[in-house]
Amino acid sequence: MLILGASVLFTETMRFPGLAALVPALGAGLLIVAGPQAFFNRRILSLAPVVYIGRISYSLYLVHWPIIVYYAYRFGMPDDLLEVAGLTAFGIALAALMYHFVETPFRRTAPGGGFDVPNAGLRTRTAWTAGVLILGCGAIMLTKGLPGRLSPEVTAMIGRFEDARTDRFHAIRRDTCHVTAKSDKTAAQLITSCLPPSVDGAVIVMGDSHAADVWAALHRLYPDQTLIQITGAGCSLSQPVGTRAYCDDMYDWARDWIGTHADQLRGIVYTERAAGLITGDPAATRSDLPPNARAIDGLFSGLDRVAAGAVPVVLFGPRAEFHPEPELVLLQTRSLDRAVERYGSWDISAYRRLDATLAARAEAAGLGYVSSLNAVCAEQCRLFFEDGRPLLTDYGHWSTDGGVAIMAAVLQDSPLPFLPDRAAQDHGG
Reference 236, options 144, 153, 324, 299; nearest CA is 299
What band does 280 get if pLDDT is binned at 50, 70 and 90?
confident
**Residue 87: its pLDDT value, please?**
95
Q: How many structural domains compose the chain?
A: 3
One domain for residues 181 and 121 = no
Beta bridge partners of 316: 370
One domain for residues 209 and 72 = no
Selected residue with higher pLDDT from 145 and 314:
314
**Residue 428: its pLDDT value, please?**
44
Q: Which residue type does 289 have?
A: L
Cβ atoms of 248 and 185 within 8 Å: the answer is no
Q: pTM (2 decimals)?
A: 0.77
In a domain? residue 354: yes
One domain for residues 161 and 16 = no
One domain for residues 137 and 157 = no
Rounded to the nearest 10°, the torsion over CA 210, 211, 212, 216 is 110
In a domain? residue 225: yes
Angle between helices 81-98 and 57-75 (to 10 degrees): 140
Alpha-carbon torsion (391, 394, 396, 397), positive or negative: negative
One domain for residues 219 and 363 = yes
Largest interatomic CA distance in the chain:
90
CATH number at residue 201: 3.40.50.1110
Judged on CB neighbours under 10 Å (0-12, 13-18, 19+), 149 is: exposed
**Residue 113: its pLDDT value, please?**
62
The pLDDT mean for the chain works out to 89
One domain for residues 119 and 216 = no
Query: Parallel, antiparallel, or unpaired: how do β-strands 265-271 and 313-316 relate?
Result: parallel
**Residue 425: its pLDDT value, please?**
55
Q: Which residue type does 201 have?
A: G
Percent of the chain with pLDDT over 90: 66
Express each pLDDT in 211-223 by its tens digit. Answer: 999 999 999 999 9
Most confident of 114-118, 129-133, 148-152, 413-417: 129-133
What band does 426 get if pLDDT is binned at 50, 70 and 90?
low
- For residue 360, give every residue at least 6 positions away whose Cβ sits within 8 Å of its Cβ, in sequence order, or none: none
In a domain? residue 198: yes
Instruction: Provide the CB-side half-sphere exposure for 338 (13 A, CA).
Output: 10
**Residue 222: its pLDDT value, please?**
95
Question: Residue 265: what are its φ and ψ, rounded to 5°?
Answer: -95, 140
Q: What's CA 1's distance to the chain center, in Å?
A: 33
Reference 204, options 252, 246, 264, 249; nearest CA is 264
In order, the DSSP letters of 232-281 are BTT--TTSPTTS-HHHHHHHHHHHHHHHHHGGGEEEEEEE--GGGGBSS-
Q: What's CA 89's distance to the chain center, in Å?
A: 30
Of 115-124, 331-340, 401-410, which range is least confident?
A: 115-124
One domain for residues 258 and 129 = no
Express each pLDDT in 129-182 by its tens digit. Answer: 999 999 999 999 998 788 888 888 888 888 899 999 999 999 999 989 999 999
**Residue 104: its pLDDT value, please?**
84
In a domain? residue 6: yes
Of 118-127, 287-296, 322-331, 340-349, which range is least confident?
A: 118-127
Express each pLDDT in 360-371 by its tens digit. Answer: 999 999 999 999
One domain for residues 116 and 233 = no
**Residue 427: its pLDDT value, please?**
43
In a domain? residue 183: yes
**Residue 410: its pLDDT value, please?**
94
In a domain? residue 329: yes
If phi over 0 gives left and psi between -120 and 50 gives alpha, with beta otherwise, what is residue 35?
A: left
One domain for residues 71 and 210 = no
If phi over 0 gives left and psi between -120 and 50 gives alpha, with beta otherwise, what is residue 204?
A: beta
Containing structural domain, residue 179: 152-426
**Residue 112: its pLDDT value, please?**
66
One domain for residues 113 and 103 = no
What band does 227 get if pLDDT is binned at 50, 70 and 90?
very high
In a domain? residue 147: no
**Residue 429: its pLDDT value, please?**
40
Distance CA 296, CA 278 (A): 9
One domain for residues 192 and 309 = yes
What does the pLDDT average to over 382-404?
93
What band does 85 get if pLDDT is binned at 50, 70 and 90?
very high
Distance CA 203, CA 316 (A): 14
Instruction: Give the chain's radius of gyration (CA, Å).
Output: 27
Question: Residue 139: what are its φ and ψ, rounded to 5°?
Answer: -65, -40
Percent of the chain with pLDDT over 70: 94
In a domain? residue 232: yes
Cβ atoms of 73 and 324 within 8 Å: the answer is yes
Q: Is the pLDDT assigned to residue 263 strictly greater than 90? A: yes
One domain for residues 126 and 233 = no
Of 10-19, 141-150, 202-211, which range is least confident?
A: 10-19
What band does 109 get if pLDDT is binned at 50, 70 and 90?
low
Reference 52, options 109, 3, 115, 95; nearest CA is 95
